Amino acid sequence: MKQRTTEDLLSLKIPYDWDLLVEHFKWLQALYECPQDPEYHAEGNVGIHTKMVVEEMFQLEGWQKADALTRSILFTACLMHDISKPECTVIEKIEGSDQPRITSPKHAVKGANRTRQQLIDLNWPDFVKEQICQLVRYHGLPIWFWSKSNPEKAVIQASLSVNTEWLSWVAEADMRGRITATQEDKLERVAYFTEFCKEQQCYGGGRHFASPHTRFLYFQKKEVYPDAPIYDDTRAEVYLMCGLPGTGKDTWIAENVPDWPVVSLDNIRDDLNISFNGNQGKVIQAAQEQAKSYLRKQQSFVWNATNVNRQIRKKLIDLFTQYRAKVTIVYLPKPLSVVLRQNRQREVVIKESVIEKFLHRLEPPTVAEAHRVMVVE
């Protein structure tokens, strides 16, 4: 009998069998132990809800017309959309009520990261795996986008990371796959999300911008219009490396920009005799001073560090653009097995537990962050 692989199950090469999926995936088993608020999920626990969502997806017109790859993406996203509810669920007693309030704050954001960890070693193209992660990350957006401070910017930003047409299908299946008095209202919101994305020219694809510089400024300032070409006054370029330790950042730099100066946090650690696990404050300060010296001279350079967290990248990009630099994020996604193998071949080997912590914090870059994102497969 052919061995059942995760790839075959998620790509539906093995015909859909819910019991088989539950048997194969331990994280799916855990969903049956996670309660939900009966006001919004009278059907019961997260496992029951997830099964309903998957089977509602099968009924949608979009699914019926989708090709095999799209179906794999949609199926896996529905299967994993609430993967982090067990770790995020909070049960609060309400004064004067016998019925507690059950919520799962940030389960979509954490779920995207957990999904990434589950998929990282699958033999699928990176863009496929990341599209699934982003569907998990944004699956609640069609319901709540209008409550955002800037709904237009919220959906346009999402469109640069996720196919918003697929997102609307996942959201519709999510709303249909539950028992609640608010179902019709939520389905109307999904329909409105679809129309709003079409109005913003970002349904089924990323919003087009007049230029990369216009796009970058749009996400930095309120008064920029996507179709308005803005004069590019950048003076130099910074390549901001992004990737887990052991993904080959040094090799890429040597092969692609061998003549550019490099601000290397690893080299600065060596110079200051500070370990990878030590206090990084002095390392960052020295690196920033080095970067400023290049920026003042309008000299292009590389900032070489892991930079897996979006907040860290933002602080650096803010610094670089203060000096009118153009920023390219160079992202090197690699399977964890490859990362661990290459790490063992480094002169300075990093503990595997440290690499796994980086993986847990990994937020792949999007073009909403910088002038350009270069993905090195």
How much is the pLDDT for 377? Answer: 83
Contacts of 351 (CB under 8 A, 6+ apart): 277
Contact between 172 and 193 (Cβ < 8 Å): no
Average pLDDT over residues 48-63: 99
pLDDT at residue 234 greater than cutoff 80: yes
Phi, psi of 132 (to 5 degrees): -60, -45
pTM: 0.94
Q: Could you read off the pLDDT of 193-228 as tens digits, one per residue?
A: 999 999 999 999 999 999 999 999 999 987 899 999
By mean pLDDT, which of 47-61, 103-117, 219-233 is the weakest? Answer: 219-233
* CA atoms of 366 and 370, how far apart (whole Å): 8
Average pLDDT over residues 9-29: 97
By mean pLDDT, which of 61-70, 82-91, 333-342 is the weakest? Answer: 333-342
How much is the pLDDT for 103? Answer: 96
- Sorted by where each begins, the domain ranges of the chain are 6-199, 236-375
pLDDT at residue 164 greater than cutoff 80: yes
pLDDT at residue 276 greater than cutoff 80: no
Average pLDDT over residues 287-312: 97
How much is the pLDDT for 98? Answer: 79
Q: What secondary structure does DSSP assign to 220-252, as a single string?
A: T-SS--TTS-------EEEEEEE--TTS-HHHH
Average pLDDT over residues 175-197: 98
Average pLDDT over residues 33-62: 98
Catalogue the long-range contacts made by 142-148 (C-beta closer than 8 Å, 24 or more residues apart). Answer: 142/167, 142/168, 142/171, 142/189, 142/190, 142/193, 142/194, 143/171, 143/175, 143/186, 143/189, 143/190, 143/193, 145/193, 145/196, 146/189, 146/192, 146/196
pLDDT at residue 261 greater than cutoff 60: yes
Of the two residues 71 and 276, the one the predictor is more confident about is: 71
How much is the pLDDT for 2? Answer: 55
How much is the pLDDT for 346? Answer: 81
CA torsion 15→28→126→261, rounded to 10°? -170
What is the percent of the chain with per-residue pLDDT over 90, rounded to a whole number?
Answer: 88
How much is the pLDDT for 1? Answer: 44
Average pLDDT over residues 349-363: 91
Average pLDDT over residues 232-259: 96
Average pLDDT over residues 155-175: 99
How much is the pLDDT for 350? Answer: 87
* CA atoms of 110 and 99, how far apart (whole Å): 27
* CA atoms of 369 and 321, how far apart (whole Å): 12
Q: Could you read off the pLDDT of 77-102 as tens digits, one per residue?
A: 999 999 999 999 999 988 777 788 99
List the CATH code of the domain at 6-199: 1.10.3210
Q: In the structure, what pLDDT confidence band is assigned to residue 191 with cuts at 50, 70 and 90?
A: very high
How much is the pLDDT for 208? Answer: 98
Q: Give the strands of the sheet with 262-264, arranged side by side.
A: 262-264, 301-304, 236-242, 325-331, 372-375
Average pLDDT over residues 157-171: 99
pLDDT at residue 170 greater than cutoff 50: yes
User: Domain 236-375 is in which class?
Assistant: alpha beta
Q: Give yes or no on whether 6-199 and 236-375 have one common fold.
A: no
